[in-house]
Amino acid sequence: MNIVKIIENNQIDTKNFEFRTGDKISVNFKILDTNIRKKQYSFEGYIIAIKGTGINTTCTLRKSSFGEHVEKTFFINSPLVNSFTLIKKGNKKQAKLYYMKDKI
């Protein structure tokens, strides 16, 4: 077996990410401060893209905050991400929802 695959399988986190594009989710994550403090944050938005496989899987969320559109990309298997919570199930059939940038 490939050594890279063995290392990936040991480091992959089992956070049961069973969401699809179009779903509205909330992500709870930590940000390490300069004073070695950890701050908890929550980001709520629509999934517009899921990319990669294995340990390199990322999801891009988009939300509108005070009239400005914000996009944030999360590594699904990052140790800084605590949890993903489903808020609303979407019914989109496409893999990438970049056309929604004008609508959200």
pLDDT, mean of residues 85-102: 82
Is residue 4 very low, low, confident or very high in pLDDT (cuts 50, 70, 90)?
Answer: confident
Question: Using DSSP, how many helices (H) and how many strands (E) does the chain show?
Answer: 1, 5
pLDDT at position 73 is: 95
Q: Is the pTM of this model over 0.85?
A: no
Q: What percent of the chain is modeled with pLDDT above 70?
A: 92
Is residue 1 very low, low, confident or very high in pLDDT (cuts 50, 70, 90)?
Answer: low
Domains of the chain, each with CATH number or no CATH = 3-102 (2.30.30.790)
| 88-to-23, 75, 81, 101 alpha-carbon distances in Å | 6, 21, 20, 18
pLDDT, mean of residues 9-19: 73
pLDDT digits (tens, 9 = 90+) for 51-88: 988 788 899 999 988 989 899 999 988 888 888 999 99
**More confident call, 11 vs 29:** 29
By DSSP bridging, strand 24-32 and strand 81-88 are antiparallel
